[in-house]
Amino acid sequence: MNKPNFIFIMTDTQGSNVVGCYGNKNLSTPNIDKLVQNGIKFENAYTSCPVCTPARAAIFTGIYPSKTGAFTNNLSITNDIKTMGERFSDKGYKTAYTGKWHLDGHDYFGTGKCPNGWDPDYWYDGKNYLDDLSDEDIKLWRSGLSTIEDLKKNNIKKEFTWAHKISDKGIKFLNNEKNKPFLLVLSYDEPHHPSTCPPEFAEKFKEYRYDISSSGEDNFNNKPKQHLERAKCGDNFDKENKYTNNPLYFGANSFVDMEIGRIIDEVDNLSMENTYIIFTSDHGTMLGAHRMNEKGSVMYEEITHIPLFIREPEGGNTNKIITTPVNHVDILPTMLEYAGLKKVPILDGESLIPFINGIESNNKCSIIEFTRHTIAHDGHGGFQPTRCIVKNNFKLVINLLDTDELYNLKNDPTEMDNLINNKKYIYISSSD
């Protein structure tokens, strides 16, 4: 049997709550949504850590970030751990990565140097993108495009964006390497800040109000003290807030979907048989829920619950929904099994193929980590390890130096009622 091909697509700061087929029909993500019509949707997929670098460490190693060395932003994976690229290139695959990396121990943009396991001809991290811009354009992209009017005034076109250049690299790879067994990763920065997109995408969401529901009234009674502190540091401390208006974020969310559509269309146009398409995101963003912005040391659904899809080759599963809780660390073991490659013992995750094939288990859970305590995003802070387990409609959060949390996600989807001191839940049976 020929080796299968893999196209791994990911976005940054795109929770399941801003993807149409997860329930928010007001947002435009038609290309991502098609992946469930033609594939498998994981209804309860979770990040390994709701911050960029640790989440990416888990995705590309299959190992939890506390064990990879990359437990917070701008730390590198230890040299003795192989990445997805190395595991597949070692087995004869042509492997290419284009887009945000954030795993080299440098800054957000990276070093511009291709790490082991990937083809340098297609490498295109943030440093490479910045190198293609003029000094004026760099300043503009990083701090001068904060409104729709800025986008219009500066005549921002799709060709200016990192997302479009990533897609161009990916399409070039597909055309050049289509006859080889390959792994192609496309890692989009969007809709992460600065959420750059052509103005017509943002314009569609100029009046859009993202409903933050009752969580905007959270008084944080019986919750960790740092939750209240995070709320005070954000822009949403006013308990009267019921919605968030952010046209650039939602516009970029729609724009990156269009760019993802370019890749999917190219795969279909090239009639690539035996090709798997996998899509996910590293984490979400609070968008004003619980009066917080950004992401960080909380475990609310807005930043931990992520989209995850697999489109199998023609003849595979279509329109299938898996409700078992799954995690970033499960992705690499799943890809290895699809490829007929052996899972190595160091990997923390497990293959999702048994669940895809219909096996149900009440014992499968998803574990989420956070190691460095911070109030505002992941700036300066201290050591406060947090561990979270999602299982059987419950979410248990252990905060080593603060109040623990327990939520019934079925009865309390907005996570307002902390049940940690409720005697009824001292023991949760597997049948709950």
C-alpha distances in Å from residue 249, one per residue of 56, 148, 391: 21, 11, 31
Helix (H) or strand (E) holding 265: helix 247-269
Is 164 catalytic? The answer is no
Rounded-to-integer distance, Cα 396 and Cα 401, Å: 15
Could you list the beta-strand ranges (E) of 264-393: 275-281, 305-306, 308-311, 320-322, 326-327, 366-374, 381-391
Q: Which residues on neighbouring strands pair with residue 306, listed in sequence order?
A: 45
Q: For strands 326-327 and 366-374, give the pairing.
A: unpaired
Q: Which of 21, 52, 197, 365 is catalytic?
A: 52
User: 191 with 11: CB under 8 angstroms?
Assistant: yes
Helix (H) or strand (E) holding 399: strand 394-399
Give residues with Cβ within 8 angstroms of 302, minimum separation 6: 15, 17, 284, 285, 286, 287, 289, 290
Rounded-to-integer distance, Cα 224 and Cα 6, Å: 42
Instruction: Please give the backbone phi and psi of residue 407, each rounded to the nearest 5 degrees, phi first.
Output: -125, 140
Q: List helix spans (H) across 178-246.
A: 199-203, 225-233
User: 339 with 91: CB under 8 angstroms?
Assistant: yes
Torsion of CA 384, 280, 42, 305, to 10 degrees: 30
Q: Which of 21, 102, 197, 305 is catalytic?
A: 102
Q: For strands 243-244 and 210-211, give the pairing.
A: antiparallel
List the Cα angle 229/231/233 in 5-degree steps: 75
User: 209 with 180: CB under 8 angstroms?
Assistant: no
Is 52 catalytic? The answer is yes
Q: How many C-beta atoms lie closer than 10 Å to residue 243's C-beta?
A: 14
Instruction: Please give the backbone phi and psi of residue 326, each rounded to the nearest 5 degrees, phi first.
Output: -130, 175
Could you list the beta-strand ranges (E) of 222-376: 243-244, 275-281, 305-306, 308-311, 320-322, 326-327, 366-374
Helix (H) or strand (E) holding 360: none
Active site residues: 52, 102
